Each structure stands twice: as structure tokens, then as C-alpha cells.
């Protein structure tokens, strides 16, 4: 089963922006309780959409440049990149059904 890959400022461009496959990016931090709440859902989506969607996690403390570049002001924030551009944005701990709907919309 696929697991979210950790991505940093150094490889964000390569792994996300230049990806030919749509990418769900989970901006999170170790100290963020809502981030830990949605982590299992993000993990499940990685498995359910394997081959159609890459799922990565960006630790905002370890990768501040990427967080600033994309205007991440609160976490968790999930961005779905398609063809190098943001196709969907979800802020906060939301139900899995909402995440799935946003992913399906981005993949359509």
C-alpha cells in the first residue's frame, strides 16, 4: 500500500510541481493536533488513489520556504496540484468524504 512521502523545500519543485501525476500535499507539523487527526485519512487516500494520485507531506517547520511560497497560514492545509498548478485547497481537519470529493474533482 502506498504511503505519503515526506517532501522538503529542496525537492518540492521536482516531486510536486513537475509531477505528471496529480499530487495531494499535506502541509502539517508535529505539534499540530488537527494534523494528527487527519493523518490516517491522508494515509488511506494514498492507498485508495494509488497510481492516480501521489500523496506527500510537507512539515511546515522543516520546510518554511515552500509554506510561505504557497501562503500556508494555518495547518493542516491540503493542496492538490495538477499540471503544476493548485487545483484544489482544503484547510483544516475535514471529514474524509470532503477530502475524497475534492480529490475526485481535481482528478476529473
Over residues 19-68, the pLDDT tens digits come to 999 999 999 999 999 999 999 999 999 999 999 999 999 999 999 999 99
pLDDT digits (tens, 9 = 90+) for 83-104: 999 999 999 999 999 999 999 9
User: Considering the chain, what is the average pLDDT of its residues?
Assistant: 95
8 A C-beta contact, residue 80 and residue 55: no
Number of compact structural domains in the chain:
1
Q: Catalytic positions, please? A: 32, 35
Show the domain range for 21: 5-107
The pTM assigned to this predicted structure is 0.95
Q: Per-residue DSSP letters for 90-103?
A: EES---HHHHHHHH
- Cα dihedral 1/62/69/87 (nearest 10): 10
Amino acid at each position: 500500500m502506498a504511503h505519503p512521502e515526506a517532501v522538503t523545500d529542496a525537492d518540492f519543485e521536482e516531486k510536486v510541481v513537475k509531477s505528471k501525476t496529480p499530487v495531494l500535499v499535506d502541509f502539517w507539523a508535529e505539534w499540530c493536533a488537527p494534523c494528527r487527526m487527519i493523518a490516517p485519512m491522508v494515509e488511506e487516500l494514498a492507498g485508495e488513489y494509488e497510481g492516480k494520485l501521489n500523496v506527500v507531506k510537507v512539515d511546515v517547520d522543516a520546510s518554511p520556504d515552500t509554506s510561505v511560497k504557497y501562503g500556508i497560514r494555518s495547518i493542516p492545509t491540503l493542496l492538490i496540484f495538477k499540471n503544476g498548478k493548485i487545483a484544489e485547497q482544503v484547510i483544516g481537519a475535514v471529514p474524509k468524504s470532503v477530502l475524497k470529493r475534492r480529490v475526485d474533482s481535481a482528478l476529473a
